[in-house]
Amino acid sequence: GRYFLARAYAALDMWNESLGQYDLYVQSGRAALPYAYLDRAQTLIALGRPQDAMDSLQSGLAMGVPDSMRRTYLMALGQSHEAADDAAGAIGWYTALINEGSRDAPVALARIASIKRRGGDGSYGDDLNRLFSSYPGSSQAVEELKAALARGESVDAFTRGVVYYRHFDYTTAEPAFRERIDAAAGQAGGAESHYYLAAILESRGDIGAALDSYSRVTELNPQSHLADDALWWRARILEEDKKSNEAGPLYQRIVSEYAESSFASDAAFRNGMLEYGMENFRGAAGSWEQSEASVTDADERARLDLWRGKALVRAGDRAGADSVLTPLATANKVDYSSMRARVVARDRHNLAN
C-alpha cells in the first residue's frame, strides 16, 4: 500500500509526502524495490535533491534490473546529473543509454546537444546532425530542427527535407529537396533528394513528374541506397498504368543489379507475372527461370518454381512442367509451394486446357 500511496502523492505534486512513503517502502524491503528506487529518484529530483536521486538510482541498479528497466534507470541518471549541473556526468549517462540501443536515444541525443550548447561546446551540432540523420521521424528531430533554424543555424537542405518529410510536412520538405537538387547541379549528390521529391509528387497525383524524378535517382547514382527503391516504385506505377513492357525491364534490373534488395524476390515474381498475365506463358517461365539464379531464399525459389511449372503447363510443355514440379511436389515439406505443386502436377491436364 505504501508504494501506491507514494505514487498517488507524487501525482498530486505532494513531493514530501511521497518521499516519506517511498522511504517507508524501501525500509520494508518488499519485492518492488527496483521500481520504488526509480520512482523515489524522480521525487527527489522534483524536491531539488539530485545527488540523493543519484544515490537512490545506484541502489536500485545494484539490485540487478531487467534490460528494459535498466534503460529507464540510465535516462533517470542522466536527468539527475543534469539537474545537478554535472554536464560531463549527464552526457556520460545519456551516451550509455544511446549505446544500449534504447528507443529513447532521440531524447538522449537532444539532451546532450542542449547541454553542450548551453556550455558553449560547438560540437553540439554533430549531435544534432546525428539526431536528424538517425532519427528523422522522432518528435525531438523536428523540434530541434525548428529550434536550430530559429537560432539562425545552418542545416543541410537534404537533412531538412528528410525530417519534414518524415513528419508528413511535404509543403516544407519539397523546397528543401529542390534546393539540394539545384545545388548538386546534376551530380550524384542530388539522387536521394530526387527520390523523396518523386514520392511527394506521386502522393499529389503528379505521376509523370514522379516517374521522371524516380528515374533520376538511378541515372545520377546507381549505387545510392535508394536506387532499388526508385526502380521498384517506377515499376509499380507503370504496372498499375498497364505499361507492362516498361515495368518488366525495371523489375529485371532490380533482380540483376540489386540482388540483395528487399524488393528482389517480389521483383522477380512480378516480372514473370507480367508475362503470365499477357498469356505469354513461355516468356513467364523463362523469366522465372532466369531470376532463380539471383534469388537465394529457398521459399522464394520454391514460389518461382511453382509458378514456372504452372506456366509450362499452360504453355503445353508437360515434360518441362514435370521436371520443375515433380521435385517440388515430392519434397518432404508441407509449405504452400510444395503443396500447390502436388495439386498442379496432379491437375496439369485440366490446367493446360
Is 141 exposed, middle or buried (CB count within 10 Å of its CB: 0-12, 13-18, 19+)?
Answer: buried
Give residue 32's pLDDT: 87
| Mean pLDDT across 68-74 | 90
Higher pLDDT, 213 or 299: 213
CA 53/CA 60 separation, integer angstroms:
11
CA 85/CA 301 separation, integer angstroms:
60
What percent of the chain shows pLDDT beyond 70? 93
DSSP reduced 3-state for 96? helix
What percent of the chain shows pLDDT beyond 90? 80
For 133, 170, 217, 263, 298, the CA distances from 195, given in Å and listed in that order, are 16, 13, 6, 16, 32
CA 315/CA 303 separation, integer angstroms:
18
The grid cell for 171 is 509543403
For 169, 247, 252, 284, 341, the CA distances from 273, given in Å and listed in that order, are 36, 11, 12, 7, 17
pLDDT tens figures, 97-123: 999 988 999 999 999 999 999 999 999
pLDDT tens figures, 245-257: 999 999 999 999 9
| Mean pLDDT across 13-36 | 92
| Mean pLDDT across 184-198 | 96
pLDDT tens figures, 218-272: 999 999 999 999 999 999 999 999 999 999 999 999 999 999 999 999 999 999 9
The grid cell for 114 is 542542449
Vertex 144 angle, CA 141 and 146, to 5°: 105
DSSP class per residue in 40-69? HHHHHHHTT-HHHHHHHHHHHHHT---HHH
CA 326/CA 328 separation, integer angstroms:
5
Give residue 353's pLDDT: 44
Single-letter amino acid, residue 312 = L
CA 85 to mean position of chain CA atoms? 35
Give residue 67's pLDDT: 82
Q: Which long-range contacts (CB under 8 A, 24 or more apart) does 275-279 make?
A: 275/248, 275/311, 276/307, 276/311, 276/314, 277/244, 278/244, 279/314
For 25, 216, 335, the CA distances from 50, given in Å and listed in that order, are 20, 55, 59
Taking alpha carbons only, the member of 41, 71, 224, 343 closest to residue 215 is 224
Q: Taking all residues of the chain, what is their mean pLDDT, rounded to a whole number?
A: 92
pLDDT of 332 over the 70 cut = no
Give residue 180's pLDDT: 97
Q: How would residue 294 be classed by pLDDT, with cut points 50, 70 and 90?
A: confident
Q: How would residue 64 be classed by pLDDT, with cut points 50, 70 and 90?
A: confident
Torsion of Cα atoms, 223 then 229 then 145 then 170, to 10°: 130
Give residue 297's pLDDT: 85
| Mean pLDDT across 183-192 | 95
For 3, 21, 32, 115, 263, the CA distances from 9, given in Å and listed in that order, are 10, 9, 18, 31, 54
